[in-house]
């Protein structure tokens, strides 16, 4: 009897060991986040590993502040993870130019990836005519507001500049900040606001023309847009009460301000949905969202700025290229997995741009997020989409647009001079073939 038990246990151990050792490892260096990591481990890594016997996915988490640099160093050394995660297309471009990423054209054709992804998102990974990256998440900018507060005061959610300035006056009269937001901990936050004003004042068509070189960034319509932003930011102190406070406030602060009625509204990306739901949910107030108001007649009505949060590529020097491709294909072939993970983040993260139907949206996510997803699909489907700077601006102008905006707000240079410098950087980027893919407009 004892012999039988020993033989049985040994057989189990051997078979388990054999299956573990027979799998080849696929590595993925992913941006770390304390709340999100366990979900990615359970629902992505472990789920993938259980779903097949060939590969063993291993996700290595690291904060983006250090990950971006360590990834670059390891890639330069001909090493790096099998799946390369970058913070956006400008990074993909750098790696692609250096020949460090695998051309995915043949896999995309074999597995039909183009038919699974939203067309503009697919094209955001196409460089020099070939696919090099798949978006890991896509996002947009929205305006959040404290719905309970608005209802109590009879305020109307603004859709135009006039309405926005009217409600801003009423909010300030109540001793609150118009918007809460800040750049402490993430200086590029400025580009969120710049993008909003460019797209909602000058309009997406004008921005598209400037990105594609048909129009100069020194065009008066862009200068007026940034003059308006400067007035709202510096003179009116709409964001967190003053420019200095905006610089001093970080992610936790502005969520706390929003939840405790320190401010009535917030301009932010859709990545906030989970944090907002949790934060304001504890205060007893209800939150709402709205597309960003049209700031002039140029903007052509409400639009959603489109953006890629992070991207997934395959390392050209990957030890397990087939495994990396298999992981990407598994993600794109398992809509349920993507929706399940995205739902855990209230569609604020891991929103792989797969083509979804209304029926795909689970009932577990908040009604605000459901309505956003429907509106986003409807409005962008009609072609009313704008362009986020971190997805469509090449590296150097992409940094200039937020880093040097502080100089404009400080009054050290004029908006005209700023845009003149900006145009020069675009000219340089164009000359060096550093521009990024941009979806064609209808």
Partner 1 sequence: MNFLSKKSYIAWYFVIPVVFIHLFVIGIPSILSLALCLTDWSGLGKINYVGFENFIELFDDRYFKKAIFHNILWTIIFLTVPVCIALMCAYLLTGIKRGQMFYRLAFFFPYMLASVVNCQIWKYLFHPIHGLGGFFESIGIEALASSPFTTKETSLYAAAFVDGWHFWGFLVVIYLTGMYQVDNHLYEAADIEGASKFQKFRYITLPMIRPIFIFSLMIIIIWSVPVFDYVYILTGGGPAYSSEVVANYLYTHAFVRFNVGYASAVGTLMFIYVIFIVGIFGLLRKLGWEI
Binding-site member from 33, 245, 296, 414 for partner 1 (CB under 8 A): 245
Which lies closer to partner 1 via its Cβ, residue 37 or residue 94? 94
Q: CB 407 → partner 1: shortest distance, Å?
A: 5
Q: In this structure, how many other beta carbons lie within 10 angstroms of the beta carbon of residue 174?
A: 11
The DSSP secondary structure of 278-291, one letter per residue, reads HHHHHHT--EEEEP
Measuring CA to CA, which residue among 26, 14, 54, 7 is closest to residue 328? 26
Are 203 and 210 spatial neighbours (Cβ–Cβ below 8 Å)?
A: no
Binding of partner 1 at residue 227 (CB under 8 A)?
no
Q: CB 420 → partner 1: shortest distance, Å?
A: 14
Q: Which two tokens stand for residue 410?
A: 């400080």
Binding of partner 1 at residue 62 (CB under 8 A)?
no
Place of tokens 């049209």: 294
The SS3 of residue 142 is strand
Binding of partner 1 at residue 75 (CB under 8 A)?
yes
Q: Which two tokens stand for residue 181?
A: 């937001």
Q: For residue 396, give the H/E element and its range.
A: helix 395-403
Residues 14-43 that bind partner 1 (CB under 8 A): none
Binding of partner 1 at residue 99 (CB under 8 A)?
yes
Binding of partner 1 at residue 427 (CB under 8 A)?
no
Rounded-to-integer distance, Cα 335 and Cα 352, Å: 9
The SS3 of residue 150 is helix
Rounded-to-integer distance, Cα 324 and Cα 117, Å: 18
DSSP bridge pairs for 310: 137
Are 212 and 438 spatial neighbours (Cβ–Cβ below 8 Å)?
A: yes
Stretch that binds partner 1, among 145-153, 269-277, 375-383, 395-403 (CB under 8 A): 395-403
Binding of partner 1 at residue 61 (CB under 8 A)?
no
Q: In this structure, how many other beta carbons lie within 10 angstroms of the beta carbon of residue 296?
A: 17
Which lies closer to partner 1 via its Cβ, residue 240 or residue 368? 240
Binding-site member from 171, 249, 325, 342 for partner 1 (CB under 8 A): 249
Q: CB 17 → partner 1: shortest distance, Å?
A: 40
CA 86 to chain centre: 11
Rounded-to-integer distance, Cα 85 and Cα 108, Å: 18
Q: Check residue 219 and report its DSSP letter.
A: S
Number of residues that bind partner 1 (CB under 8 A): 35
Binding-site member from 283, 399, 427, 438 for partner 1 (CB under 8 A): 399
Which lies closer to partner 1 via its Cβ, residue 69 or residue 110? 69
DSSP bridge pairs for 146: 287
Q: CB 182 → partner 1: shortest distance, Å?
A: 9
Binding of partner 1 at residue 248 (CB under 8 A)?
yes
Q: In this structure, how many other beta carbons lie within 10 angstroms of the beta carbon of residue 319?
A: 15
Stretch that binds partner 1, among 32-40, 217-225, 241-249, 263-271 (CB under 8 A): 241-249
Binding of partner 1 at residue 430 (CB under 8 A)?
no
Stretch that binds partner 1, among 37-45, 268-276, 351-359, 398-406 (CB under 8 A): 398-406
Binding of partner 1 at residue 98 (CB under 8 A)?
yes
Q: Which two tokens stand for residue 39?
A: 């979900």
Q: CB 64 → partner 1: shortest distance, Å?
A: 12
Q: CB 63 → partner 1: shortest distance, Å?
A: 13
Binding of partner 1 at residue 429 (CB under 8 A)?
no
Please, what's the b/e burial string for 215-227 (b: 16 or more CB within 10 A of its CB; e: otherwise)? bebbbebbbbbbb
Binding of partner 1 at residue 346 (CB under 8 A)?
no
Binding of partner 1 at residue 410 (CB under 8 A)?
yes
Binding-site member from 94, 209, 375, 416 for partner 1 (CB under 8 A): 94
Stretch that binds partner 1, among 118-126, 335-343, 351-359, 392-400 (CB under 8 A): 392-400
Q: What are the respective helix, strand and coil percentages of the chain, to the nearest 5?
A: 55, 15, 30
Place of tokens 């051309």: 103
Stretch that binds partner 1, among 21-29, 120-128, 301-309, 391-399 (CB under 8 A): 391-399
- Give the binding site for partner 1 (CB under 8 A): 68-69, 72, 75-76, 94-95, 97-100, 184, 187, 240-245, 247-249, 253, 256-257, 262, 395-396, 399, 403, 406-407, 409-410, 412
């Amino acid at each position: 009897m004892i012999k039988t038990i020993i033989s049985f246990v040994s057989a189990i151990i051997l078979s388990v060991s054999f299956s573990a050792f027979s799998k080849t490892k696929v590595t993925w260096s992913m941006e770390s986040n304390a709340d999100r990591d366990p979900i990615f481990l359970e629902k992505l890594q472990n789920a993938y590993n259980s779903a097949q016997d060939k590969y063993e996915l291993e996700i290595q988490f690291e904060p983006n502040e250090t990950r971006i640099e360590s990834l670059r160093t390891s890639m330069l050394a001909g090493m790096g993870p099998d799946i390369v995660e970058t913070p956006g297309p400008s990074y993909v471009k750098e790696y692609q130019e250096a020949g460090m990423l695998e051309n995915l054209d043949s896999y995309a054709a074999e597995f039909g990836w183009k038919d699974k992804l939203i067309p503009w998102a697919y094209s955001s990974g196409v460089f020099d005519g070939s696919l090099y990256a798949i978006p890991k998440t896509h996002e947009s900018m929205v305006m959040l507001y404290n719905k309970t507060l608005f209802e109590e005061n009879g305020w109307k959610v603004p859709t135009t500049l006039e309405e926005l300035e009217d409600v801003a006056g009423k909010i300030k009269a109540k001793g609150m900040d118009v918007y809460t937001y800040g750049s402490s901990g993430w200086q590029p936050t400025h580009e969120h606001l710049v993008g909003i004003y460019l797209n909602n004042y000058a309009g997406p068509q004008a921005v598209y023309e400037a990105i594609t070189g048909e129009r100069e960034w020194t065009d008066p319509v862009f200068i007026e847009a940034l003059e308006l932003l400067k007035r709202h930011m510096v003179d009116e102190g709409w964001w967190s009460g003053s420019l200095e406070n905006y610089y001093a406030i970080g992610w936790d602060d502005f969520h706390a301000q929003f939840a405790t009625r320190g401010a009535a509204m917030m301009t932010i990306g859709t990545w906030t949905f989970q944090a907002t739901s949790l934060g304001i949910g504890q205060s007893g107030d209800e939150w709402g969202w709205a597309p960003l108001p049209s700031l002039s007649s140029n903007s052509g009505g409400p639009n959603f700025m489109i953006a890629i949060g992070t991207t997934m590529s395959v390392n050209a020097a990957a030890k397990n290229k087939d495994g990396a491709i298999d992981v990407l294909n598994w993600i794109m072939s398992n809509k349920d997995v993507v929706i399940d993970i995205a739902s855990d983040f209230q569609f604020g993260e891991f929103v792989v741009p797969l083509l979804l139907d209304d029926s795909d949206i689970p009932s577990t996510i908040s009604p605000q997020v459901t309505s956003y997803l429907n509106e986003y699909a409807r409005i962008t489907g009609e072609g009313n989409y704008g362009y986020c700077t971190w997805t469509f601006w090449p590296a150097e102008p992409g940094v200039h647009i937020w880093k040097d905006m502080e100089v404009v707000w400080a009054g050290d240079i004029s908006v005209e001079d700023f845009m003149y410098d900006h145009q020069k950087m675009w000219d340089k980027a164009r000359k060096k073939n550093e521009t990024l893919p941009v979806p064609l407009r209808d």
